Amino acid sequence: MSMSKMSRLVAVCSSIGLAAGGVAYTAYKGGEPVHARVTCSNQYKFPAGSNYPDILQHRNYMAQVLTPEMYNKLRSRTTPHGCTFDECIQPGVDNPSNPHFKEVGCIAGDEESYEVFSEFFDKVIDERHEGYKPWDKHIKDMDYTKLKGGCLDDKFVLSSRVRTGRAIRGLRLPPSCTRAERREVERVIVEALNTLHGEFKGRYYPLKKMAAEEHQKLVEEGFMFGKPTAPQYVAAGMTRDWPDARGLWANDSKNFLVWINERDHARIISMQKGGNIAQTFMRYCKGVNLLEQEISKKGWDFMWNEHLGYMATSPADLGTGMRAGVHIKIPMLSKDPRFDLFLQAMHLQKRGTGGTDSPIVDDVYDISNSQRLGKSEVELMQVLIKGVEDIIKMEKELIKGGTIDRLLPASVRDLYNKKNKTA
C-alpha cells in the first residue's frame, strides 16, 4: 500500500473512531505484518469449554471444522478493527442448517478476519471451495474477448445476469461496520459511479428517500433489494440501522446496477433479457473495471490479495465473487431424476428466480456457476455456457420424446446407476 493511501486510511480510521491498542498478535499478509489485539474482557474469565457453542447437530461448514481446541486458541483474538472470532461464527451457531444447500455458517467482519482467524477460515475455504489450500493463488481474467459462445437459445433462456461483490479496503464489512463506515462506503461508491458516462451513465436511488411504492416496484422488477430477512443475515448484523446508507445505483438502461451496503459494500450486477450472456458479461467486465479505476483515483482500493482474490463478507463469495446465471424454462429436464447429478458434475447450481431459498415457479430455474475461487471469470463463464448449452440440448431431445442417455456425462450415468443399485 502506498504512503498516500496509508495516510488516507489512517485519517479515515481516526475520523470514524477506529483505534488500535492492547496486546499485539501478529499475522502476515502479503509479506507485511498484521497486528491484532488480544482482548482482555470479563467474558474470558470463564474457561473456553464453558463458552463453546452447542453445534453437535449443526450441518454447515463452520460446525464441520470448528473444534474446542481451535475455539480456545482463537476466541480471545480480535482484528485491528475490533472484530472477534465469536462474531464471525455466530451466524452459523444461530442457524444450524439450510434445507436447500450447505451454508458456510460464518462471516468475516473485516478484511483482516481471514488472516487473524486463518486457522479456522483456511479449513472452511478448503471444504467450501473443493480443496483450495492456503498456498494456492487465485486467477483473475476479465478479458471478455476470450469468451467463446454465449448466445444461448432465447426460446429457453429468458434472461441472463452476471453479478459480483466488492468491498472497500480499510472499512469494515457490513456485519461489523459502524454507521460512519457504512455512510463512507456509500459516499465513495456513489461519487465514483456518478463520474461514469456513455452506457454506464445513471443515477443513485437512496433507499431512505424512496417512497414505499417506488421501492416495491423496483423490487418486483428485479432491480432493487429489500431488507434481508434470511436468518443468517439477521444473525450476522447486516440489517442494523436499516435503511441508512443503503441504495441502488442504476444506469439509464437499468441493465447495469450496483446495490450499496446490502450483503457486501457493493453488489455489482449486469443483466438483460434473452440469452446473450456474452453481451451481459462484456458489460459486467467493463463496468466493474471502470468502477475500480474511479475509486482508485480517489486513493481507495477494493479488498484483494493473491490468495483469496476479491474479499467478501461470506467465505463462499471469495475469489471472483462472481455468480453468472440464466433464468431458463425446462419443464422436461427438471423432472429427470438425474438432473441434480448433472448440475453437480458440471459445477452448476439451481435455485428459484426469486433468490436464495425461493420456490420454483412455472418450471423456470435460475442456473449459475457454483465455483468462485481458484478459477478466473472467463473460465467460470465458459463452464456456465457449456452447461446451459447441454441443458438446452437435453430439453429439446425430451420434447421430441427422445432419450438423453447419450447426452449425459458417463460419470453422471454411472453414479445414478450405482445409487439405484444400492437403494
Binding residues: 159-163, 267, 323-327, 351-356
Quote the CA–CA distance of 67 and 73 in Å, as a whole number.
10
> 290: which 3 cell numbers?
471502470
Residues 6+ apart with CB under 8 A from 268: 163, 164, 165, 166, 257, 258, 284, 287, 288, 291
Quote the CA–CA distance of 325 and 343 in Å, as a whole number.
13
Phi, psi of 143 (to 5 degrees): -85, 95
Phi, psi of 348 (to 5 degrees): -120, 165
- Feature table: binding site for ATP: 159-163, 267, 323-327, 351-356
CB 236 within 8 A of CB 83: no
On the 0-12 / 13-18 / 19+ scale of CB atoms within 10 A, 233 is buried
Phi, psi of 302 (to 5 degrees): -80, 150
Residues 6+ apart with CB under 8 A from 60: 92, 95, 96, 97, 98, 102, 103, 104, 105
Strands 157-166, 266-273: pairing is antiparallel
Quote the CA–CA distance of 196 and 341 in Å, as a whole number.
43
Quote the CA–CA distance of 4 and 133 in Å, as a whole number.
33
Quote the CA–CA distance of 114 and 84 in Å, as a whole number.
12
- Amino acid, single-letter form, for residue 87: E
Helix (H) or strand (E) holding 163: strand 157-166
Cβ burial 316-346 (10 Å sphere, 16+ → b, else e): bbbbbbbbbbbbbebebbbebebbebbbebb
